[in-house]
Amino acid sequence: MGDLGQALDLARTVPDFPEPGILFWDLTPVLADAPAMAAVVDGFRRVSGAGPELVAAIEARGFLFGAAYAATHGLGVVPVRKAGKLPVVGHRVEYRLEYGTATLEVPGAVIQPGQRVLVIDDVLATGGTAAAACALVEHAGGIVAAVCVVLEIAALNGRARLRGRPVHALRTL
């Protein structure tokens, strides 16, 4: 199952989650299959570009993909968390989701000024979460080297909220 296409075929949809009318893309089967997970990490390596120095992994599934990428490439990883989960908050941003609002935070004094940061998440939908994570990286003085996601839902046009930043999806739906 080392083939990226086959790996991504393991993703499944869950209708009406977390709210009625939302079609949720569940990547748990990809995460649970070691060769599929390796294929995703390798896919990120191929598209991520040169020179990231740190990975910013977005809660929650982004943590898993981001940590795996960072560990296999000799990089550190910083969590981008939902509000109230960090003991030391450096910056926080509130943003809109397709079904409400949310707040993300990044730890203080972890991202260094000028540091090239690769932002990793599972799915790019409307782009609010990824844009908020990029804003946090930039507010901390980091440079967004690229945004990498496993799946992109093109019809929701989330890429438009990330203008000026390289965005790479392993599969576009």
98 as an active site residue: the answer is yes
Alpha-carbon distance of 37 to 23, in angstroms, equals 23
**Annotated catalytic residue, options 98, 116, 138, 171:** 98
Q: How far is CA 151 from CA 94, 108, 121, 171, in A?
A: 23, 29, 9, 5
Q: How far apart are CA 23 and CA 165, in angstroms?
A: 27
Residue partners of 34: CB distance under 8 A and separation at least 6: none
Q: Which of 61, 81, 159, 165 is catalytic?
A: 61
If you count DSSP H runs as helices and E runs as strands, how many of each does the chain have, helices first? 5, 9
61 is catalytic: yes
Residues designated catalytic: 61, 98
